[in-house]
């Protein structure tokens, strides 16, 4: 099976922010995801956030950590939790196990098809930057539930040892 390069698109229209992840979304895209989380935290007039994962074939745990960060960056500013649109059963199962339903409403289809999405450039990261992001992502995931804490503890400890944090 051909793995498609991960891509992120975004749109912001009348208070609704849409983030669409396609293909194989992995840690190389975290800097981009992180900048979106920060952008959302600062966006005035935001009423809803939708993450569209229908075209995502795979999402690694680092990218998931930053999706969690997106929800946390919103910090209760929205009337309803952000939504994730997901119809891939494997991705859905992963989100369920990792506790995403506490932070997002998980839907099979979008409320309405978003407007034109603009492709976001992949922000460059050097090795140290990437390691810090992987560490941050997994610390976030570990805060979400017991399953994640047990699963990611060894990785986090290894990365902490490497970064001398």
- Cα atoms found within 13 Å of the Cα of residue 12, Cβ hemisphere only: 10
pLDDT for res 39: 86
pLDDT for res 3: 57
- Cα atoms found within 13 Å of the Cα of residue 21, Cβ hemisphere only: 29
CA distance 108 to 128: 37
pLDDT at 2 over 70: no
pLDDT for res 112: 66
pLDDT for res 49: 93
Q: Are 73 and 40 in contact (CB under 8 A)?
A: yes
Torsion angles phi and psi, residue 32, rounded to 5:
-65, -45
Strand pairing class (7-13; 118-119): antiparallel
Q: How far is CA 132 from CA 31, 65, 90, 163, in A?
A: 11, 12, 27, 8
- Cα atoms found within 13 Å of the Cα of residue 68, Cβ hemisphere only: 28
> Percent of the chain at pLDDT above 70?
93
Highest mean pLDDT among 27-31, 106-110, 142-146: 142-146
Orientation of helix 146-163 relative to helix 127-144, angle to 10°: 150
3-state secondary structure of 124: coil
Provide the residue count of the chain. Answer: 165
Least confident of 77-81, 110-114, 130-134, 151-155: 110-114
Return mean pLDDT, the chain: 88
Structure confidence by residue, pLDDT tens digits, 43-101: 888 999 999 999 999 899 999 999 999 998 887 788 888 999 999 998 999 999 999 99
pLDDT at 111 over 70: no
């Amino acid at each position: 099976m051909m793995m498609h390069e991960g891509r992120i698109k975004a749109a912001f229209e009348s208070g609704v922010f849409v983030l669409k992840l396609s293909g194989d979304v992995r840690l190389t895209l975290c800097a981009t995801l992180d900048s979106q989380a920060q952008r959302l935290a600062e966006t005035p007039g935001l009423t809803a956030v939708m993450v569209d994962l229908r075209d995502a074939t795979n999402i690694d745990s680092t990218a998931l950590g930053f999706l969690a960060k997106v929800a946390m960056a919103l910090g209760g500013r929205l009337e309803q939790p952000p939504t994730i649109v997901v119809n891939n059963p494997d991705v859905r199962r992963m989100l369920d196990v990792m506790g995403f339903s506490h932070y997002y409403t998980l839907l099979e289809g979008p409320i309405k098809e978003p407007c034109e999405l603009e492709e976001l450039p992949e922000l460059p990261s050097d090795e140290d930057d990437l390691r810090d992001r992987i560490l941050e992502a997994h610390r976030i995931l570990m805060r979400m539930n017991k399953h994640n804490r047990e699963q990611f503890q060894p990785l986090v400890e290894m990365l902490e040892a490497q970064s001398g944090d």
